[in-house]
């Protein structure tokens, strides 16, 4: 049984570089780099490379990209329970980047939308025995909700990364969350559209005590706001019954590590995978797990790609993380 179970998306990234974006109706010559991705998959790869025993649960189509996903997990020795959806394509993202680093992206979620509750139920024992479950909102909502419910009723700590932020987030989902890990824009959306709490659009510019108050309005035990090159902000809500982390400082910031960032795509995924791995390494010291995640995420920004950019346990140790 794995310590960390990640339920989430696999997406085949198809990345093109071209000097100038084509105009409608125009074709342009560029270069091409395929790679495995998807928020859930990236987070599982990060966690696994950091030495935590990890199981990825996701869905792919019966096609060449699905076969590629299977080859990649085999190559990484990452345990994966992949549901094959015969009538759906494996998810794919068309990413076009121009010479100014701007991008145009279309993602087709394909099989991820068909990850079934039956598949989740068939892995009930794995989720129930895990120390930590990590989810996002890029896969079927019913399957994600079921996984969170199983975790909750079996004392498996739940991490929800509310990304990519969308209307499918529900109160039911929020009520199953122990640790919520939004970036600034995801937090604003979630507060306004899911929790009907009005917070300023520049809430993160407020003093730390006020940011803590905003986080407490989410009514989950712990909120970890990721703040890009400013690191992260941690808030433990004392009003949530049985919050195991309230004995720590109620709120604090951790600065980003000092690196020459060249590609920040997937930094949030590295952070979440790193946090799950950190929580298994330092089960009684959440702040230490956060420092670990912050280092993992910072190191991921020094490499291109997403899943393939995730650092190893050795890389993090070398950096002193
Ligand atoms: P997302 O990718 O979800 O938008 P963020 O941009 O907030 O997430 O980044 C996630 C984490 O990655 C940050 O909390 C931080 O730890 C790390 N990070 C992001 N950008 C940098 C950077 N330029 N230098 C160092 N660390 C970074």
Distance from CA of residue 115 to its chain's centroid? 17
Sole residue written with tokens 């949530």: 240
**CA atoms of 247 and 303, how far apart (whole Å):** 37
Q: What is the pLDDT of residues 13-33, one digit of tens each?
A: 999 999 999 999 999 999 999
Q: Which residue among 267, 294, 303, 315 is best mutated to probe the pocket of ligand 1, counting the most ligand atoms within 8 A of its Cβ? A: 267
Quick one: pLDDT band at residue 167, thresholds 50, 70, 90? confident
Residue whose Cα lies nearest atom 9 of ligand 1: it is 228
Quick one: pLDDT band at residue 185, thresholds 50, 70, 90? very high
Mean model confidence pLDDT for the chain:
95
So what's the pLDDT on residue 109? 96
Q: Which residue among 226, 302, 305 is best mutated to probe the pocket of ligand 1, counting the most ligand atoms within 8 A of its Cβ? A: 226
Decide whether any atom of ligand 1 lies within 6 Å of the 254 Cβ.
no
Decide whether any atom of ligand 1 lies within 6 Å of the 224 Cβ.
no
Closest CA to 140 of 315, 7, 21: 7
Q: Are 68 and 60 in contact (CB under 8 A)?
A: no
Cα 305 to averaged position of ligand 1 atoms, centre (Å): 14
Quick one: pLDDT band at residue 295, thresholds 50, 70, 90? very high
Phi, psi of 171 (to 5 degrees): -60, -40
Find all residues with CB under 8 Å of 280, minimum gap 6, and list them.
Answer: 3, 4, 52, 53, 131, 132
Distance from CA of residue 182 to its chain's centroid? 9
Cα 274 to averaged position of ligand 1 atoms, centre (Å): 12
Cα 36 to averaged position of ligand 1 atoms, centre (Å): 20
Decide whether any atom of ligand 1 lies within 6 Å of the 108 Cβ.
no
Quick one: pLDDT band at residue 82, thresholds 50, 70, 90? very high
Decide whether any atom of ligand 1 lies within 6 Å of the 268 Cβ.
yes
Cα 186 to averaged position of ligand 1 atoms, centre (Å): 14
Quick one: pLDDT band at residue 146, thresholds 50, 70, 90? very high
Produce one character per residue of 16-36: b if its CB has 16 or more CB atoms within 10 Å, e if not: bebeeeeeeeeeeeeeeeebb
Selected residue with higher pLDDT from 52 and 102: 52
So what's the pLDDT on residue 166? 87
Decide whether any atom of ligand 1 lies within 6 Å of the 278 Cβ.
no
Q: What does DSSP assign to residue 270? A: H
So what's the pLDDT on residue 243? 87
For residue 170, pLDDT over 90 is answered with no
0.85 exceeded by pTM:
yes
Residue whose Cα lies nearest atom 5 of ligand 1: it is 228
Give the range among 9-13, 152-156, 169-173, 223-227 with minimum mean pLDDT: 169-173
Quick one: pLDDT band at residue 101, thresholds 50, 70, 90? confident
Closest CA to 234 of 189, 193, 289, 281: 289
Phi, psi of 318 (to 5 degrees): -60, -35
Decide whether any atom of ligand 1 lies within 6 Å of the 299 Cβ.
no
Quick one: pLDDT band at residue 240, thresholds 50, 70, 90? very high
Decide whether any atom of ligand 1 lies within 6 Å of the 229 Cβ.
yes
**Share above pLDDT 90 across residues of the chain, in percent, rounded to a whole number:** 86
**CA atoms of 209 and 301, how far apart (whole Å):** 29
**4 φψ region: left (φ > 0), alpha (ψ -120 to 50), beta (else):** beta
Q: What is the pLDDT of residues 217-236, one digit of tens each?
A: 999 999 999 999 999 999 99
So what's the pLDDT on residue 195? 87
Phi, psi of 234 (to 5 degrees): -115, 135
Cα 266 to averaged position of ligand 1 atoms, centre (Å): 9
């Amino acid at each position: 049984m794995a310590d960390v179970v990640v339920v989430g998306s696999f997406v085949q990234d198809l990345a093109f570089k071209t000097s100038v974006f084509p105009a409608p109706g125009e074709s342009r010559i560029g270069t091409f780099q395929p790679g495995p991705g998807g928020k859930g998959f990236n987070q599982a790869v990060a966690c696994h490379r950091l030495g935590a025993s990890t199981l990825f649960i996701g869905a792919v189509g019966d096609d060449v990209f699905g076969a590629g996903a299977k080859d990649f997990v085999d190559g990484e020795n990452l345990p994966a329970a992949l549901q094959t959806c015969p009538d759906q394509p494996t998810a794919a993202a068309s990413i076009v980047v121009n010479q100014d680093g701007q991008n145009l992206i279309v993602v087709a979620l394909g099989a991820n939308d068909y990850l079934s509750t039956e598949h989740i139920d068939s892995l009930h024992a794995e989720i129930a025995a895990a120390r930590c479950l990590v989810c996002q909102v890029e896969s079927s909502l019913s399957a994600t909700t079921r996984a969170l419910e199983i975790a909750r009723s079996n004392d498996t700590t739940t991490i929800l990364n509310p990304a990519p932020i969308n209307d499918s987030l529900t109160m039911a989902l929020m009520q199953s969350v122990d640790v919520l890990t939004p970036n600034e824009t995801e937090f604003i959306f979630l507060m306004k559209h899911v929790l009907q709490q009005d917070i300023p659009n520049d809430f993160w510019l407020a003093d730390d005590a006020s940011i803590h108050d905003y986080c407490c309005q989410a009514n989950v035990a712990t909120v970890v706001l990721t703040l890009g090159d400013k690191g992260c902000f941690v808030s433990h809500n004392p009003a949530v019954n049985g919050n195991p982390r309230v004995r720590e400082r109620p709120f604090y910031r951790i600065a980003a590590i000092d690196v020459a960032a060249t590609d920040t795509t997937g930094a949030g995924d590295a952070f979440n995978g790193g946090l799950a791995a950190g929580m298994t390494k330092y089960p009684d010291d959440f702040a230490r797990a956060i420092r670990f995640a912050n280092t993992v995420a910072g190191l991921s920004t020094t490499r291109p790609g997403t899943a393939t950019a995730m650092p190893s346990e050795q890389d993090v140790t070398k950096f002193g993380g």
